[in-house]
A and B are shown apart, each in its own frame.
Chain A
Amino acid sequence: MLDYTESPEVLDLRSRIRHLIDEMIPDGYLGAFTDDPNDLKIAEEFCQALGRHRLLALAWPVDFGGGGASSWEQTALREEMWAAHEPRGAQYMGINWVGPVIMRHGTKEQQEAFLPPIAAGEVIWCQGFSEPGAGSDLPALRTSARRTEGGWHINGQKIWTSYARMAQWCFLLARTGAPGGRKDGITVFLLDMQQPGVEARPVHSMLGNHHLNEIYFTDAFVPDAQVLGTVGDGWSIITDVLAFERVGIARYARCERLLSEAPTALADRWQTMPAGLVARWARALVRTREARLLAYKVVDHQNQGGLNPADAAAYRMAVTTLDQEVAEVLMDLVGPKALDARSDQPEFQRAVEDHWRYAQASTVASGTIEMQKQLLGKKLVSL
């Protein structure tokens, strides 16, 4: 029987998180990656506070320093964080998939070394997958790893790597097999970013600071103990990473929050808002509810042990296009003033400008929408 009631645990978690946000995150905060370096510091302190309250690694098993939360609590956490402009900054990646993948594929030593700092909010990881010649076609990657005394030498280039300049560690894919080997001969390395053979450079973009970078590797060293899983068999780990990323960011949560706030935040302008624009706003709220319910369906099926990649792809298609559709509606609601991004401008207006920019990447980042359509479309015609 259908049931959309949130459990008391979930409601309690929401209120604990909101309380902490009220306490620690200043009004007008738009996430860690603005032009104001102080925003980054706020995110760091917030993560450590989450860590102290065992809210950071909420989803992890208790054995690994986590909170052992249910998948509905994890869902609520994702929503609360994204609705508040992700005050965890870069650390959500370590929590969402780096940690869980190390739990599944790492040695005991790797788990002991890498998991506690992630759970405590003390470390930032980046994802070294994409390369200039390997985007959607990830198996085309060419960064190479050559055997050397006690470990491996990495040479090559990664690109689009979010947070690379602030990260201490990189979850890196490199080719240990023959060049051109596609999915065979790829190995996962846990690479220390603070060494001479690693150079991370910013890629300046409309998205804001830290979202895009490139990394050059020149004989960067990784000891044998920091190879994750079996040499040459990294692709099976990548499949896991993608599975953990599948539900991904709860983009619908920020959409709902901004849409709900619009009539109050724009009170003066709203008096004369054209009826057609109010109708678009109402439609956007309906689309937002649909995307949220699709996310819940994926979680519900996952709980039943039946995660279907095609369902996850359908959800991703819905939520990424939602982000862009809502961005357009919000920009029109705010009007021309949305382009004025001075820090003394009203919070809502700046949030809308920020949202529009980041939403443009929603159908590209973490696998393009075309790849989702490819997966779902193939599944449909093969039924």
Chain B
Amino acid sequence: MISRLSAEAIDLGAGVRSVLAGAGGVELVRRYLVDPASREQEIESLLQPLGLWDLDVTDSQIELEAAAEACRVGGTTALPYPIAERLASGSAGSWATLVDGPGPALIAHGDLEGPWQALDLAGRTFTVTGAGGGVVGGRLAPFLGAVEVSTSDSVDDPALAARVGTLQSWWLLGVLQRAVDDTRVYLTEREQFGRQLAQFQALRFQLADMSVAVQRSEELAKYTAWSLAHHDPSEQVVDAIALRQGLIQACETVLRGSHQLYGAMGFCDETDVSILSRLSHSVRRLPVGEEDLATLLGTMILDRGFRGPFATLGGPIEARA
């Protein structure tokens, strides 16, 4: 058993990190808040030389790991680009997003024209119209668009739904890792009562809780990426939903903690944590909130099982005994 990413994935991640840092990191987000339309071209060409858009995640575990790591690194700067949605479809070239069924829908980056394609969490496919109409979200979702989703004749694609969900979760993982890291540094910089905040055990304890929440999510994210390369689509879907649930739960611990430990500074536009917190919502709340997600997950696990050494439930996953 190996819980470490391939060297290729780590290299690609390092490349993405250096390109994004060179372009300003979270500063990019502040620029695009003013002019959202300019981000598509700019970010696309920024990442183009790294070969990112040539990755085919359906091809091999190595490419899947590389795509996941690229999404995670994107998340560390709250990259306002449909990187997960674009990488998920592989060579098909569409931008795949998740919705809750037909009808009017809000989708992250729906202010851009696409070529969009939509799926629900279980993998039913839908057609998207009306994208590119501009931003509809407020401060919590500054790159959100409104679209119309209708039923499609295309066959279900649970594996694609699992990939989008998983890669979006990797992006969110990057957001959370960065939030913990910034908070950690802030505690060593800010002084009150004549000493560093880091000297206060209550704050270190809260930071430790935040770190554990992120570490849990990171291991789950790695397992789920691997699962996508090894298990049936019906199981991949369950694992991807479980990962999303895990990340959303971690958001509450981590981002709530960051806001608290930063004091008033954590709400300011000039503080990266504020940007990270705001941009997390388009994954946290869409296509459904945590309670709906956990309820759906429960139904699916009863039906399909949940792999583990002591699993006894569901269809395809047999207990090993």
Residues of A whose CB lies within 8 Å of any CB of B are 1-6, 11, 14-15, 18, 72, 76, 79-80, 83, 253, 256-257, 260-261, 263-264, 275-276, 278-283, 285-294, 296-297, 299-300, 311, 313-314, 317-318, 370, 372-374, 376-378, 380-381, 383
Contacts and interface: CB of A to CB of B under 8 A. Distances in A.
B223 A286 contact: no
A279 B298 contact: yes
A286 B204 contact: no
B27 interface: no
B29 interface: no
Given A283-B249, A290-B219, A381 B187 contact: yes
Nearest to B313: A260
B216 to A, nearest CB: 4
A286 B313 CA distance: 14
Contact of B226 (A2, A253, A281, A290): A2
Contacts, number: 176
B61 A2 contact: yes
Contacts of A2: 2-6, 61, 65, 222-223, 225-226
A377 B208 contact: yes
B188 interface: yes
Nearest to B319: A260
Nearest to B250: A290
A261 B313 CA distance: 8
B205 A370 contact: yes
Chain B interface mostly: helix
Chain B interface residue number, banded: 35 or more
Q: Give the one of B62, B201, B294 with max A CB within 10 A.
A: B294
A317 B295 CA distance: 26
Nearest to A322: B216
Contacts of A11: 320
Contacts of B208: 313-314, 317, 372-373, 376-377, 380
Contact of A291 (B184, B216, B299): B216
28 contacts: A1-B4, A1-B5, A5-B1, A14-B309, A14-B321, A257-B312, A261-B312, A278-B302, A279-B294, A279-B295, A281-B298, A282-B245, A285-B242, A286-B246, A289-B242, A289-B308, A290-B216, A290-B246, A294-B219, A297-B3, A299-B1, A300-B2, A314-B212, A314-B215, A374-B201, A376-B211, A377-B201, A380-B211
Given A261-B312, A370-B205, A278 B298 contact: yes
B292 to A, nearest CB: 9
Nearest to B214: A314
A275 B1 contact: no
B310 A83 contact: yes
A6 B2 CA distance: 10
A177 B65 CA distance: 56
B42 interface: no
Given A3-B2, A380-B208, A253 B184 contact: no
A318 B311 CA distance: 20
A289 B223 contact: yes
A381 B302 contact: no
A282 B239 CA distance: 12
A381 B301 CA distance: 39
Nearest to B220: A290
Contacts of B65: 1-2
B247 to A, nearest CB: 10
Given A1-B65, A4-B223, A296-B3, A318 B298 contact: no
B291 A279 contact: yes
A129 B313 CA distance: 42
A318 B6 CA distance: 26
Interface string B134-177: 00000000000000000000000000000000000000000000
B3 A285 contact: no
B100 to A, nearest CB: 17
Contacts of A285: 242, 301, 306
Q: Give the one of B208, B230, B246, B306 with max A CB within 10 A.
A: B208
